[in-house]
Amino acid sequence: MTEKLTLNPSLYAEATPAGAYFAVAAPVQDTARRLLVQILREGARAPLTEERLATWVGAEGKGQALQLLYRLQRLDFVQGSEAPKVLPEDNLETMLPEILARLSDSGRALLADDNGFYVACAGFRHESAEEIAALAGDILGLSSRHALLLKNNLNISSSAWAISDPAGRSELGFFPLYLGKQSFVLILGGAPQLQSDDFVMLIQALIHRYS
């Protein structure tokens, strides 16, 4: 006998750092990624109901939507929260440098667009940031051109690239982020610190602006 799936009417749906990364880590938006984007965009507005969930998923019947939500929960991409995390009221340009600085153990990070220009920066000098952003644009194109090789032939699902030291530690990491028609690259100097609320906040802010 199949267990009936239900929602707790007092909980808000919230994406975990892993879920936020999965939502924007690929240019193709499947149903799971679209649901995660909706949770990142609107999850803090009200507790999740079956009706809202079905609207977000667009599935035939609430049962399919619930099955997808629980699958994402088992993957640790989604969790329930009694108190939603609301984005600060500061504008994106004001928020980004402080958030970016906390995403690297060295405090060095920048966000570049798909044209090779940096949107925000922390810890890098202006001249270096310009050159790194241009490099990120080239890497985004390289990743796109060789996507079939990496995914289909080598079975590498990640789209991130890194320049590492001889011990394999990342010295400069490049993380493509896809938000609708707009693409970015998150560049981190040193060890990434992406398992944090700051990373979720970054993705939420970008989704509110660009997706």
pLDDT computed for residue 117 by the predictor: 93
Confidence of residue 1 (pLDDT cuts 50, 70, 90): very low
Q: What pLDDT, on the 0 to 100 scale, is given for residue 113?
A: 92
Going by DSSP bridges, is the β-strand pair 182-189/108-113 parallel, antiparallel, or unpaired? antiparallel
pLDDT in tens, 37-77: 999 999 999 999 988 998 898 865 678 889 999 999 999 99
- Strands of the sheet with 170-179, listed across from one edge: 118-122, 108-113, 182-189, 170-179, 161-164
CATH number of 92-193: 3.30.450.30
Whether 124 shows a pLDDT value over 60: the answer reads yes
Residue 187 tokens read as: 């560049």
182-189 and 118-122 strand pairing: unpaired
pLDDT bracket for residue 157 (50, 70, 90): confident
Give the residue extent of every domain in the chain.
12-81, 92-193
Model pTM?
A: 0.91
DSSP 158-200: ---EEEE-TTS-EEEEEEEEEETTEEEEEEEESSB--SSHHHH
Q: Is the pLDDT of residue 2 over 60?
A: no
Q: Measured between alpha carbons, how far is 173 from 180 in angstroms, rounded to an integer? A: 23
